[in-house]
Structure formats: C-alpha cells, structure tokens
Structure 1
Amino acid sequence: MFSPSQHDVRLFFCEAWRKNRAGEPLTPMEALAADWIAEHPEYHADLADAEAAKAASYQVEEGRTNPFLHLAMHLSISEQTGIDQPRGIKQACELLARRLGSLHEAHHEIMECLGRMIWESQRSGLPPDGDAYIDCVRRRATR
C-alpha cells in the first residue's frame, strides 16, 4: 500500500502546480490536483515555493487552513466518487452538488463528513464507518 509522507504530499502538489503553470505535461493525478489547486487561488502562494511548503506549519490555533490537507481531501473525494467507493458516494455527491449548484461546494460539505468519519475511527479505534459517511453526505444533500 502506498503511504506518502507529509513531505511527499507537499512536493506532489507543489510540483503539479509548477508543471501546470509551466505548461508541462501532467500525469492524470497531477492534472486533477492542478484543477483543484486552480479552484483555490488562496493557496497559490503556499504552493509556489516547495522548500517553504516543506517547512510550513499549519496550526489550527493560528487560524490557518492546511492547503495540502484540503487539496488531498479534494483528491480523495474525487477518487471516491470516480469509483463509487464507498458505495453510494457518487450519487450522494451528485445530489449535494445539484442542491448547492457547485461540485466544489459539495466537496467542501463532504469534507466535513469525511473528517468526522476519520476522527470517529481514530477516536474509537474501529475501522472507518462508510455507511455513516454516506448517510452524513445524504443528509446534507437533502436538507
């Protein structure tokens, strides 16, 4: 199983953005990452300097959003919906995107559910509950 380090993840996003801006060929995953990066101009400065990105600290207490975590969650949700795993996430995402009028905003809502599922799993020591995750997204899609 591939398990990238924090350093690897940060370099991946920085390099995808650099290659995109330079007009260089991108792998499919880099192209997807670059699309999500383009949706977040507030992160462009963070991604422009790979060395600074490797050293940066994004503390909740400082009120800073970690752009790499945020973008990784976009990629995770894109992958989940692409293969409909957990089963039902694709339809739930589509419903939520229709309700909100934006796939991007739907992803942000889904991130709340994904984060909760991961937190609950870590807290309880149990495997992630995909059914609770899908239920959370569906509730947001139908409220």
Structure 2
Amino acid sequence: MFAPSQLEVRRFFCQTYRKLREGAPLIPMEALAADWIQQHPEYHAELADEETALAAVYSVEEGRTNPFLHLSMHLTITEQHAIDQPSGIRQAIDLMAAKRNSLHEAHHVAMDALGEMIWASQRSGLPPDGHAYLDSIRRKATA
C-alpha cells in the first residue's frame, strides 16, 4: 500500500498543476488529479507556489480549506467509484450525481460522509466503518 507523506502529496499536486499549465505529458494518476484541479480554480494560486504550499498550515481556526486534502478526497472517491469499493459506492455516487446533476457535487456530498467516517474512526479507535459511510451517502442520495 502506498502511503505518501504530507509533503509528497503536496508536491504531487503542485507538480501536476505545473505540468498541466506547461502542457507536459501526465501519467494516469496525474491526469485524474488534473481533472479535479481544473474544477477548482480557487486552488490554482496555492498550487502554483510549491515552496509556499509545502510550508502552509491549514487550521480550522483560520477557516482555510486545505486544497491538498480536498483534492486528495476527490481522488479517493474517484478510485472508490472506479473499483466499486466499498461495494455499492459506484451506484450511490451515480445516484447522487444524477440527483444533483453534477458528479462534482456528488463528490462533495461523499466527502462529507468520508470525513465523518474518518473522524468517527479516529475518535473511537475502531477501523473505519465502510458500511456507515455508504449508508450515509445513500441516505443523502435518496433524501
């Protein structure tokens, strides 16, 4: 299993954005990331300055969204959808995307559920509950 450090994740997104701007070839994972980067122009300035991005701190108190966490969650949900893991996530995301008329908005709903699952796991010390995660997305998709 690949477990990149925070700095590696930030470098990946900054370098992908640089390659995207330069029109350089992208490897498949960079191409997926580039799609989400293009849909988030509000992050472009931060992605363009790798040195500052590597040193940035995103605290809740500051009210700043961490673009690297946000983009990483898009990639996570994209991968979950592609391999349908947890089983049923593809259908739930597709239903949410149809209901919201936007895959991007469906991802944002799934991000909330993913964040809740991770938070609950960290708080309880138990493994992440994929069933609760999927149920949360399904409830939101059918509400």
Please report how far the alpha carbon of residue 3 of structure 1 lies from its aligned counterpart in structure 2 after TM superposition.
1.1
Amino acid of the residue matched to residue 71 of structure 1?
Answer: L
Distance, in Å, in 1 between the alignment partners of 2:74 and 2:3 is 17
- RMSD across aligned positions (CA): 0.5
Secondary structure at the counterpart of residue 24 of structure 1: coil
Distance, in Å, in 2 between the alignment partners of 1:86 and 1:75 is 15
Secondary structure at the counterpart of residue 104 of structure 2: helix
Matched with 1:117 is 117
Distance, in Å, in 2 between the alignment partners of 1:2 and 1:110 is 22
Q: Deviations over 1:108-131 (max 9, x none)?
A: 000000000011111111111111
Matched with 2:74 is 74
Q: With structure 2 as the length reference, what TM-score do the two structures score?
A: 0.99
Amino acid of the residue matched to residue 8 of structure 2?
Answer: D
Aligned length: 143
Distance, in Å, in 2 between the alignment partners of 1:16 and 1:137 is 29
Distance, in Å, in 1 between the alignment partners of 2:127 and 2:60 is 26
Please report how far the alpha carbon of residue 90 of structure 1 lies from its aligned counterpart in structure 2 after TM superposition.
0.3
Percent identical pairs in the alignment equals: 69
Distance, in Å, in 2 between the alignment partners of 1:69 and 1:63 is 14
Matched with 2:44 is 44
Matched with 1:130 is 130
Matched with 1:107 is 107
Unaligned runs of 5+ in 2: none
Amino acid of the residue matched to residue 90 of structure 2?
Answer: K
Matched with 2:6 is 6
Q: Deviations over 1:36-72 (max 9, x none)?
A: 0000000000000111100111111111000000000
Distance, in Å, in 2 between the alignment partners of 1:2 and 1:35 is 22
